[in-house]
Copies of this chain bind each other. A is one copy, B any other.
Amino acid sequence: MNRIDNELKKLATFSATPNPSVTRIVFSKEDMDARAYFISLCEDIGLKVRVDAIGNTFARWEGSNPELAPVGTGSHIDAIPESGQYDGTVGVFGGLEAIRVLKESGYEPKRSIEVLLFTSEEPTRFGIGCLGSRMLSGQLTPKEAKKLIDFDGKSLEEVLKSADFTEDIASVKLPENYYNAFVELHIEQGPILEEEDLDIGIVTMIAAPSSLSVKLVGEGGHAGGVLMPKRKDAGCAAAEIMLAVESIAKNTTSENTVGTTGIFDIKPRAVNSIPKEAYLEIDLRDTFVETRNKALLDIQNKIEEVSNRRDIKSSVKLLNCDPPAICSDKLVDNVEAAAKELGYSYKKMISRAYHDSLFMAQICPTTMIFIPCRDGVSHRPDEYSSPEQIEKGVQTLALSLKALSE
């Protein structure tokens, strides 16, 4: 298994920030180089590679009956600023490694097996997560996608063009029943498996994520010149909202509600200037859609109350608000059988993080295989899963893909 460790190490060098931190924004030079590296490895073992109009990459191991709907696996390789080396990447390179393991064992699948590299699972560039899998599954229409603007104000179309993707994105949506099944290998991004000393998590449900952007416009002015009672400080309004998000998420009826203000920008951003404008992005998720929606409403009410009280203009945009995904019982049983056969310890669990599987679950039976990560840490340079933990994930995935492709 030195192979995948070395590949993940090499992959980490495609980063805009120095390792151990990894920054790989979709369609950046680092992302394009990493894609080329993945494709070259797939071609090395004879997989047929197709890249669609949005950059989703399909590496196909042709089955003996290529007419049958294939089995899919895969994940993403884009990485938010200054994050780690394992989120997503383990599912992409682990999918490839699973195929190599099966090939080397002499197995020949009946159904084709495809490893997918999804475009932009992270929302960093376009403010919306799972761009590739949303479009594949038809959850984001080409018309909606064409309205997306990146952090530099460039349209998706312009960005695609400059990355040499010139096909019509209307072609991205997969035909009905394209996949027979989809299984994604991923690090847990939480502490449960490590705490309970387990090898494998089998995902039965993916939490319902949502995100909001909030723009606040008050009044600026010189920090020395405007007395406190006359101020309309958009930054202080934003600070109140940030604390309200934290408090609302802490106080729902569900212990799985999490609320985060991950972006907090103020303008003009000078020590002696009163913040005239603030921009926030808020992430809220839960395993129960009702609890999440109630918390979302509480946050929106609080934004209104703060804005009115402080005489500040606010505009709120719901960036996404997706339903939770229920995983396929049949696939969960299949992964469980694989883990049992390999003698690995496991548990069935909920994914509180957001994955491409959330959208794949809309078009085919889906589940995920989790492996432990140190201290439950993710989206940080010290994110880590050991070679042994990764190997157990790959073996479980390989056995599941085998059973599903027979």
A residues touching B (Cβ–Cβ < 8 Å)?
A: 80-83, 87, 122-124, 127, 129, 188-191, 207, 209, 211, 220-230, 233, 235-236, 238-240, 242-243, 246, 249-250, 255-264, 266-276, 281-283, 285, 319, 351-354, 376-380
Do A224 and B352 have beta carbons less than 8 Å apart?
yes
- A326 CB, min distance to chain B CBs, angstroms: 17
Cα distance A59–B274 in the bound complex, in angstroms: 34
Do A271 and B267 have beta carbons less than 8 Å apart?
no
Which one of B228, B261, B273, B353 lies within 8 Å of A222 (CB-CB)? B353
Do B272 and A224 have beta carbons less than 8 Å apart?
no
Task: Tell me the nearest residue of chain B to A243, going by C-beta.
Answer: B239
User: Given the interface contacts A80-B272, A243-B239, A276-B380, does A353 sit within 8 Å of B263 by beta carbon?
Assistant: no
Which residues of chain B have C-beta atoms less than 8 A from A127's C-beta?
271
Which residues of chain B have C-beta atoms less than 8 A from A272's C-beta?
80, 122-123, 129, 211, 260, 262, 283, 354, 379
6 nearest A-B residue pairs (beta carbon): A224-B353, A189-B225, A239-B239, A223-B260, A271-B281, A222-B378
Which residues of chain B have C-beta atoms less than 8 A from A266's C-beta?
262-264
Cα distance A263–B269 in the bound complex, in angstroms: 5
Copies of this chain, tallied across the complex: 2
- A107 CB, min distance to chain B CBs, angstroms: 34
- A34 CB, min distance to chain B CBs, angstroms: 19
Do A268 and B228 have beta carbons less than 8 Å apart?
no
- A199 CB, min distance to chain B CBs, angstroms: 19
User: Given the interface contacts A281-B271, A283-B271, does A258 sit within 8 Å of B227 by beta carbon?
Assistant: yes
Cα distance A150–B219 in the bound complex, in angstroms: 28
Which residues of chain B have C-beta atoms less than 8 A from A259's C-beta?
228
Do A262 and B274 have beta carbons less than 8 Å apart?
yes
Task: Tell me the nearest residue of chain B to A260, going by C-beta.
Answer: B223
Which residues of chain B have C-beta atoms less than 8 A from A270's C-beta?
80-81, 122-124, 262-263, 379
Do A224 and B261 have beta carbons less than 8 Å apart?
no
Which residues of chain B have C-beta atoms less than 8 A from A250's C-beta?
228-229
Which one of B236, B238, B271 lies within 8 Å of A263 (CB-CB)? B271
Which residues of chain B have C-beta atoms less than 8 A from A281's C-beta?
271
Cα distance A306–B326 in the bound complex, in angstroms: 40
Which one of B123, B224, B238, B380 lies within 8 Å of A189 (CB-CB)? B224
Which residues of chain B have C-beta atoms less than 8 A from A263's C-beta?
266, 269-271
Given A122-B270, A260-B272, A271-B281, 8 new contacts (CB under 8 A): A80-B270, A81-B268, A224-B283, A233-B260, A235-B261, A235-B262, A239-B242, A263-B266
